Structure formats: C-alpha cells, structure tokens
Amino acid sequence: MALYEKTAAELSAMLAKKEVSAVELAQDVFARTKAVEDKVQGYVTLTEESALAQAAEIDKRRAAGEELPALAGIPVAIKDNICTKGTLTTCASKMLYNFKPPYNATVMEKLAAQGVVVTGKANMDEFAMGSSCENSAAHPTHNPHDVNRVPGGSSGGSAAVVAAGEVPLSLGSDTGGSIRQPAAFCGVTGLKPTYGAVSRYGLIAFASSLDQIGPFGRSIEDVAMLLDAITGHDPMHDSTSVKTPFEGTVRAGLNADIKGMKIGLPKEYFGAGISDAVRESVLAAAETYKNLGAEVFEISLPLVEYALPVYYILSSAEASSNLARFDGVKYGYRTPNAGDDVIALYTKSRSEGFGAEVQRRIMLGTYVLSSGYYDAYYKKARAAQRKIREEFANAFDKCDVILTPVAPTTAYGIGAKTTNPLEMYAGDICTVSVNIAGLPGLVQPCGFDGDKMPIGMQLIGPRFGEQTLLNAGLAFEQASGLRNIIAAL
Ligand code: GLN
C-alpha cells in the first residue's frame, strides 16, 4: 500500500515508530498531488515549500526525543476561507485575489500547536456560496471518482483532495451542508460540528450564526483526530464558542458497541425527490444498524418542508451584512475604473470583484432585511427557525441519532445545474436544517450507485452529541468496510 493510500491514524502510527519521516511523507504527498492535480484541480494555492520546512522541523523535534502530538507531521489541506497568516486566503473570489491575512484563524493556531503540515489552500465556491464547487473565481474542482462530475460544494476542494489521495485530512466549513454534501459526493467522511464547538475566528464569514469549521478524513478515526485538534472555547476571539463536553477526547472515546442505540429515520427525508439509489443505500445502512443491535424506527420531522426557504433567507441576510466590508477600500480588489467618485469606487469594486452567485445572495439578503420586507421574510424565517429547533429537540427525546440521506442524488455532471440556481439550492434540502438547529452532522460513505459514484449517509445528533455520532459512524464503518475509499484516477 502506498503512503498516499493510508489514513491519518495509520500515518500517525508510522511517524511515531519512525517507519517514515515527516519529510518523506510530505514529499510523497506532493508527488501524488503533482500526478493527479491536473485532473482534480482541488487546490487554489499549494504551499510545498513551507510544508517541507514544517515537516523538517517535526523530524528534528522527534529526533531530539520530544513526545509529539498525534497529528505532528500529518499533512492537512485548508479550505481557502480560513485565514492563514502570510498565505493567500482568497475565498475563491476575485474580491480577495491578493489577500494575505496578517493573522491566523484560531483553528490554524491549534493545528500549528499540533505540528501539522499544511499542504495548501483548497478550492471552494466563492465565499462558500454554492453546492458544486463551480462558483470559484479560480477554476472548478472535479470529482476524483469521475472527473466529468462535480465534487459537491462549497468545500469541494477539501473533499476532492482527500478522495484523490492528495492528502489524508482537510478542513472545510459548513453553513448549510458544505462539508457534508461534498463528503457524500466524494466518498469521504466529514463532520459539521455543533455550532460553537469550533472557534470561527479567522473563518471569513458567510452567515455567522450558521457557519462552522469541520474536518474531512478517510475514516471515522481520522475525523475524530482532527476534531480533537480543533475544538475548544475561544473566549478571546469568538464569543459564540463554548467549552464542549468532548474537548480533545473523541478519538480516545470511540466505541463501536451501539447495542440499544435508538436511531430515528425521519420519513420526510426519504420521500419524493430522493433518488432510488440514495434511498435504498441509506435504508440498507439502517438495516445494518438493526443487525448491530440498534433500535431503528420511523420518526417524523414535517418542518423540513420549510428548511430551504428559512435557510436561504437567513443565510443571505447575514451574508449581505457580512460582505458589506468588501468595499474596494479596506482590502482586496479595487476597481481601476472609478475615477475620483467614491460611490463608483464602492459599486464598481463590488460589481467587478464579486461573482454572480455572491451578488445574487447579497441582493436577496438586502431585500429580506429591507424595512418593507423585514417582517414578512426575515422575522418569519427566525420564527420558523425556532420551530425547527424545537422539532429536533423533541425528536432527540425519543432517539439518540437521526439517520438521513445527505443529498437527493449522487454527484452530477459539471455544468448540469449552473444555469438554474433554484435547482442547485434544492440539492441542500437534507443538510440545511442541521445548521438552522445548530446541531452536529456526520457524513460517511454507505454505498455506490450504478455508475460507481459514492453515496453518503448523514447521522444527526443532539447538541454536543459528537461522541455518539462518531461511535455510530464507527459501528457502521466497521460493519460495512466502507472507509478509506481513494479514487483510482
Ligand atoms: N449550498 C449551500 C449554499 O450555497 C451551503 C453552503 C455552505 O454550507 N457554505 O448556501
């Protein structure tokens, strides 16, 4: 087995036993990347030089006999909306084409303390708005399992580079499904943590009340390792972050014995609109759970019907406010065509710097917040959000976790939905409620469709139910053997 086919946990053990050095591993990672990146296009920026320097530093410390954390020397790719000090952070937007943050996101400080090797910045939909990784000002990313298809979005680059064997771990962000849907499309494991479990400081904001950073990996254990590294209260920088009950202990707490676990199947998630292949595969996973001794039963979450409008109203409202800071003055792109008119400077910088989808969200958000429509749209969406939260809370009185599909279909062809934004939005139906309710959601592979494209399943937990989720995920992973799926390319 080549190094690039190993999971992060396997590589961590090899590094600790000095069977491989961090520099050798980093060299292997960049060799694989050079071999396949032409086809995948998962990165916006590669940081080979600094990665090799970080790896050399780890080797030096290990040689000196230092006891190192589990992730020391492990290569990790970072979504391009997470601020990396001195390294381009573009959000895949012309607006930030030249932005080198003067500071690190909290997660980057945490990863640095672990000694990870940062391989580069992964491609995404511009400002994390999209479901296919086609809305990137850089280039679209391709699904490693079929390069004519999308990898999903918005963290499509982060998912694709893991699936392509370019890197064992990556970070993404999830506002309405952007970790979970690309994980499903690319056949990798991804977790959207509970809102507040991971500091958002240095994550370039899309919708602050919904955004969360989370890990991608090739196995449950890998995802647990990276989650352990990034969770934590950040009182200095993110007042919405909290101390979780599982800080740093999820990997050690993994336990595949799920006998008696109560798993709810919400009937609304399996109805019309979900493809047969996806439905059958997720229902087969439910059978596996029954065989493992879980109690699996149908539940009802009827408010899912309102999830998409609620999500697109709230997220666009917050986006319109968050993105007001990009004005051509403070940072990023500035139009050369404004003469000495300051209003033209603002409007032209924004019209030229933002792509079509970002402009659409800003207009939608400004509209739902405008005085004549605030009550009719924004306020109503907030009220519906409370109802959706209650509905999930009630469901978790009856069950430990909820099992659903991730997306209505497997990965579709590049260009298939780019002309119809509403069709693109409809693909988010199974994921957005999790953000609206602030819950954790785990996605892992559960099968393949007739074209051999990966199918993912989603496990939703109560707030701070990450350990239970990952235990349930591990039980399925062991029973199915579906882990560490790397595209042949
Ligand atoms: N696809 C959703 C959107 O376009 C979710 C994006 C995300 O989670 N960042 O808004």
CA of 352 to the centre of ligand 1 (A): 22
pTM > 0.75: yes
Please name each of the domains of the chain with its CATH number.
3-257 (3.90.1300.10)
CA of 185 to the centre of ligand 1 (A): 15
Kindly state the average pLDDT of the residues 361-379.
96
Residue 155 beta carbon below 6 angstroms from any ligand 1 atom: no
Beta bridge partners of 190: 216, 443
End-to-end, the C-alpha distance of the chain in Å comes to 16
Is residue 164 within 8 A of residue 179, CB to CB? The reply is no
**pLDDT grade for 331, boundaries at 50, 70 and 90:** confident
Sequence-distant (≥ 6) Cβ neighbours of residue 218 within 8 angstroms:
7, 8, 162, 168, 188, 189, 483, 484, 485, 486
Percent of the chain surpassing pLDDT 70: 100
Q: What is the largest CA-CA distance in the chain?
A: 71
Kindly state the average pLDDT of the residues 49-66.
98
Amino acid (one-letter) located at 188: V
The predicted structure's pLDDT at residue 95: 98
**pLDDT grade for 57, boundaries at 50, 70 and 90:** very high
| Residue 179 alpha carbon, nearest atom of ligand 1 | 8
Kindly state the average pLDDT of the residues 377-395.
98
| Residue 207 alpha carbon, nearest atom of ligand 1 | 9
Residue 318 beta carbon below 6 angstroms from any ligand 1 atom: no
* Residue of 93, 124, 129, 323 to test ligand 1 pocket, by largest number of atoms within 8 Å of CB: 129
User: Hey, whose CA ends up nearest to atom 4 of ligand 1?
Assistant: 130
| Residue 206 alpha carbon, nearest atom of ligand 1 | 9
Residue 315 beta carbon below 6 angstroms from any ligand 1 atom: yes
Kindly state the average pLDDT of the residues 258-274.
96
User: Which positions are catalytic?
Assistant: 79, 154, 178
The predicted structure's pLDDT at residue 330: 86
| Residue 315 alpha carbon, nearest atom of ligand 1 | 10
The whole-angstrom distance between residue 96's C-alpha and the CA centroid of its chain comes to 21
Angle subtended at Cα 309 by Cα 354 and Cα 421, rounded to the nearest 5 degrees:
45
The predicted structure's pLDDT at residue 190: 98
The predicted structure's pLDDT at residue 230: 98
What tens digit of pLDDT does each residue of 89-102 get?
A: 999 999 999 999 99
The predicted structure's pLDDT at residue 272: 85
* CA 369 – CA 374 distance, rounded (Å): 5
Residue 135 beta carbon below 6 angstroms from any ligand 1 atom: no
pLDDT value at 1 more than 90: no
* Residue of 315, 358, 436 to test ligand 1 pocket, by largest number of atoms within 8 Å of CB: 315
Q: Indicate the burial class of 215 (C-beta count within 10 angstroms; 0-12, 13-18, 19 or more).
A: buried
Average pLDDT of the residues of the chain: 97
CA of 179 to the centre of ligand 1 (A): 9
